[in-house]
Structure 1
Amino acid sequence: MAGRWQFTPDAYGYGHAIADSGDWAAWLLMVTLAVTPLRLLFRKSAVAKWLVRHRRDLGVASFAYALLHTGVYLWKKGTLELVLAEMGEGFILAGWLAFALFLPLAITSNDASMRALKRSWKTLHRLVYPAAVLTFLHWVWSAFDPTTAWIHVGILAAIEGLRIWLQRR
């Protein structure tokens, strides 16, 4: 993304960089959230086992793209005054709240934090669910054509519905 933006700024500008980084953040978040239902459905599958081993990596990668998305946004705005002026808009507020929820998850996505927090680690990491809702609200509210965002909301709802159903079963 950075290379495309640097070498072809006329063809790949701010709009593409903000959209692509946001898309990747959301897609990786969906894959991360899909790990539990896939594990419950396909316990012995090599793919499910690999996903379980790398779930934290996927979540941190999702956060890295969200951080890039936020960084591009902040770079474009240029001043704190302009950022704060937009804070009242629903899609901006939803994005900032999602980012605020993801930040402690990214910081504690390591073995040392798991050992230090013990059972609280899992409780803390359940913040991923409201953060995901806020992420997808941000996407729907900010999209020029929200159809794609709504399709992804449907996929996320199916993933979460399946997870809840499988865990209660």
Structure 2
Amino acid sequence: MFSALKRSRPLVWLLLALPALWIGLRWAITPDAYGYGHAIADSGDWAAWLLMATLAVTPLRLAFKRSGLTLWLMRRRREIGVASFGYAALHTAIYLVRKGSPEYVLAEFTTPYMLAGWAALALFVPLALTSNDVSVRLMKRGWKRLHRLVYPAAVLTFLHWVWSAFDPTTAWIHVGILAAIEIVRIALQRAQRVT
């Protein structure tokens, strides 16, 4: 299975899509038990988890350069990042359908947690659109500079989670994990003089 996963991009995409299919299936089959609250939370969780996985690739590469898993993650990092954006877009779509009217959306737009969420999504759009080989070739060094926007986008994503959560404890735990990933990345880059 893992050897097939290593070689097959469609299989990677299928696996990344499975949580979205599960969210949709549960909501369709048991709308009263599952419903909007679970769908919005689960789609947001998957967006954040895949974002953390994407950000963890660099410190893993720096720490375990010759690991087969690390090399595989490096080759699949863009897919994981685009999947994170996909779940963020699903999260947003669920919210917009639930609100049902621009007036309700605009009424909440200026609240800090919504501003953070919209700003994070806006930063992710150009990253998702340029996460392909053609963009890498055309943009050259500019591609890497553009994709550094992932760091402020991640901060905004987790601020949105903390500020919007009914119980922010889980969100703060994930903020701690994200901070640890970034601290390790910066420490390893400085130690290895990687820019």
Q: TM-score range by the shorter chain?
A: over 0.9
Secondary structure of 2:55 counterpart:
helix
Secondary structure of 1:109 counterpart:
coil
Shift of 1:65: 0.4
AA at the equivalent of 1:48: T
Per chain length, whose mean CA-contact separation is higher, i.e. which structure has more relative contact order (CA < 8 Å, sep 6+)? 1
- The equivalences for 1:5-84 within 5 A come to 5-84=27-106
Match of 2:160 in 1: 138
Secondary structure of 2:34 counterpart:
coil
AA at the equivalent of 1:81: E
Aligned equivalent of 1:147, options 169, 174, 190: 169
Q: How many residues align structurally?
A: 169
Secondary structure of 1:75 counterpart:
helix
Indicate the percent of aligned positions where both proteins have the same amino acid. 73
Output the TM-score relative to the length of structure 2: 0.86
CA distance in 1, matches of 2:127, 2:169: 29
Any unmatched runs of 5+ in structure 2?
A: 1-22
Shift of 1:80: 1.2
AA at the equivalent of 1:132: A
Secondary structure of 1:145 counterpart:
coil
CA distance in 1, matches of 2:56, 2:64: 12
**What do the CA deviations read for 1:105-151 (whole angstroms, capped 9, x no partner)?**
00000011111111100000000000000000000000010000000
Aligned equivalent of 1:4, options 17, 22, 26: 26
CA distance in 2, matches of 1:53, 1:103: 21
Large movers: runs of 4+ above 4 Å: none
CA distance in 1, matches of 2:172, 2:42: 17
Any unmatched runs of 5+ in structure 1?
A: none
Q: CA RMSD in A?
A: 0.5
**What do the CA deviations read for 1:51-106 (whole angstroms, capped 9, x no partner)?**
10100000001000000000000000111111111011110110000000000000
CA distance in 2, matches of 1:104, 1:141: 25
CA distance in 1, matches of 2:33, 2:131: 36
